[in-house]
């Protein structure tokens, strides 16, 4: 068994260009998300679960200033007066509309000023030499990932926003012929594999270090659970039967009167409709189910006589190549994602039909492990053996524990720079506004090991 090798990013000039391109791509997306609505929509809070869009915009610039201008470049602070306002740990989202936020024009001027200065820092910074913050342009990659993560957060806010559609994108391609005939599950043989990474240059602290896990044989769904399959759970009284629910989940759905995924409702004839970025449309039965909590995913799995996969099972299914014994960067190999591999980067504003992206399948034939929907796992968000917080403990360490569940794989809203086979997302088990779905698993007997 061997681990995946390093993913070199090239010589100094290639590395500099890669970092500049990642920053530019993130900023282009940020601009799309913040110029498609008028100022009242930017400054409004569309849900107490989310910040005003203009807070996210200035927060992106403030974090870039803190890490790239001050920490890497050694520059004097541009706006130390706003540090506390845009510190995500100082004020919960529900309180942020009452803060002295920069108005949209001032926020845009600030993030533009920061970016222009950052590009100067990038040109003059040595990207090797033993400083972990800048080796392989780590800090620049970290900031690009941070901006893309907030872009996904802003896209969630757009989904929660009431009013006419402000964003558009072409639909994903149809699933290839024969997808409906795919086997329902795939056997993942038992044995050890390398989980996490010690070599991926822009991997974040909770993905590290690479380490061996011995995982018993199991079966996992070939594709994510579809809307049509989830409808059968609803029609069978799934939301009315406490047998399928964790006690906390049952109490939560009773308290809030939940009976379907978020944004679903029935029309007068009983057809399920959904609201998607300002458009109401029939729920497509062949898409992965979206906007379900961990509790809903867990209940469905129990109803189906199955369970959610553990985090290590999910990663083994996604990365382990049984022929070579190595762990790949992605299910399809080590190459960066392309549009043929996965539904990523907000190219489409919805998941692709189940069975799509055969070129992105894992060595054993599991599909759509990357992109489309974040997939809930059964695992709590915990550190790997040998974990060390870097460069700040508030990114991961403060969230470790049984309160947060791990999601893997990335959604259609995730940019490739913030999505890889080792990437770990986490959230509270009640969360439904996120672009979350799931697939199920089951144990395999000793004869399958």
Q: CATH says 179-227+298-448 is which class? A: alpha beta
Strand partners, 265: 273
CB 428 within 8 A of CB 298: no
CB 185 within 8 A of CB 286: no
User: Both tokens of residue 281?
Assistant: 């449309």
Cβ atoms < 10 Å from Cβ of 380: 15
Domain 12-160 CATH superfamily: dinb family like domain (1.20.120.450)
Where in the chain is CATH 1.20.120.450?
Answer: 12-160
**The dihedral of CA 334, 339, 345, 348: what is its sign?**
negative
Among all chains, which residue has been given the structure tokens 């040998």?
A: 386
- Name the E strands within 236-314: 264-266, 272-276, 279-282
Strand partners, 320: 327
User: Both tokens of residue 255?
Assistant: 């308290």
Pairing of strands 185-188, 218-221: antiparallel
User: Both tokens of residue 147?
Assistant: 């901006």
| Residue 117 DSSP class | H
| Residue 416 DSSP class | G
- The mean pLDDT values, 10 residues at a time, for the chain of 449 residues are 51 94 98 97 97 98 98 97 97 96 98 98 93 96 98 98 95 92 96 97 98 98 98 98 98 98 96 97 98 98 98 98 96 97 98 98 98 98 98 96 98 97 98 98 78
First to last CA, the chain: 16
CB 434 within 8 A of CB 427: yes
* Long-range contact pairs involving 273-278 (C-beta distance under 8 Å, separation at least 24): 276/159, 276/349, 276/350, 277/158, 277/159, 277/165, 277/166, 277/167, 277/349, 278/161, 278/163, 278/164, 278/165, 278/166
- Name the E strands within 277-340: 279-282
Q: State residue 401's pLDDT score.
A: 98
Q: Which residues contact 240 (CB under 8 A, 6 or more apart)?
A: none
pTM assigned to the model: 0.96
Where in the chain is CATH 3.90.1580.10?
Answer: 179-227+298-448
Q: Burial level of 276, CB count in 10 A (0-12/13-18/19+)?
A: middle
- Coil, strand, or helix at residue 440? coil
């Amino acid at each position: 068994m061997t681990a995946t090798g390093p993913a070199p990013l090239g010589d100094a000039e290639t590395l500099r260009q890669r970092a500049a391109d990642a920053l530019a791509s993130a900023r282009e997306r940020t601009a799309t998300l913040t110029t498609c609505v008028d100022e009242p929509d930017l400054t409004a809070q569309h849900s107490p679960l989310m910040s005003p869009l203009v807070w996210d915009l200035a927060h992106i610039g403030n974090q870039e200033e803190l890490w790239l201008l001050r920490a890497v470049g050694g520059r004097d602070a541009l706006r130390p007066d706003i540090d506390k306002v845009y510190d995500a740990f100082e004020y919960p989202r529900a309180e942020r509309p009452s803060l002295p936020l920069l108005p949209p024009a001032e926020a845009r001027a600030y993030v533009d000023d920061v970016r222009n200065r950052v590009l100067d820092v990038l040109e003059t910074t040595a990207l090797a030499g033993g400083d972990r913050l800048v080796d392989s342009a780590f800090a620049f990659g970290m900031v690009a990932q941070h901006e893309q993560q907030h872009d996904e957060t802003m896209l969630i806010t757009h989904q929660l926003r009431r009013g006419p559609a402000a964003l558009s994108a072409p639909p994903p391609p149809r699933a290839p012929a024969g997808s409906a005939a795919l086997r329902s599950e795939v056997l993942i043989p038992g044995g050890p594999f390398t989980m996490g990474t010690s070599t991926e240059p822009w991997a974040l602290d909770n993905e590290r270090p690479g380490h061996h896990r011995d995982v018993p044989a199991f079966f996992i769904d070939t594709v994510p659970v579809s809307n049509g399959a989830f409808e059968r759970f609803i029609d069978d009284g799934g939301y009315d039967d406490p047998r399928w629910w964790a006690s906390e989940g049952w109490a939560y759905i009773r308290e809030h009167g939940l009976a379907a995924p978020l944004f679903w409702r029935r029309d007068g004839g009983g057809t399920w409709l959904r609201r998607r970025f300002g458009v109401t449309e029939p729920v497509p039965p062949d898409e992965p189910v979206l906007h379900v909590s961990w509790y809903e995913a867990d209940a469905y799995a129990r109803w189906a006589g199955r369970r959610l996969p553990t985090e290590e099972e999910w990663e083994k299914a996604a990365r382990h190549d049984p022929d070579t014994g190595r762990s790949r960067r992605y299910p399809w190999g080590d190459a960066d994602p392309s549009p043929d591999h996965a539904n990523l980067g907000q190219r489409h504003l919805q998941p692709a039909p189940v069975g799509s992206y055969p070129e992105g399948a894992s060595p054993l034939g599991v599909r759509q492990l990357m992109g489309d929907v974040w997939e809930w796992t059964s695992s709590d968000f915990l550190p790997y053996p040998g974990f060390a917080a870097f460069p700040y403990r508030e990114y991961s360490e403060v969230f470790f524990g049984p309160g947060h569940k791990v999601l893997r794989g990335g959604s259609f809203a995730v940019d490739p720079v913030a999505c890889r086979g080792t990437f770990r997302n986490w959230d509270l088990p009640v969360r439904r506004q996120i672009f979350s779905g799931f697939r199920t698993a089951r144990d395999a007997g000793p004869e399958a090991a």
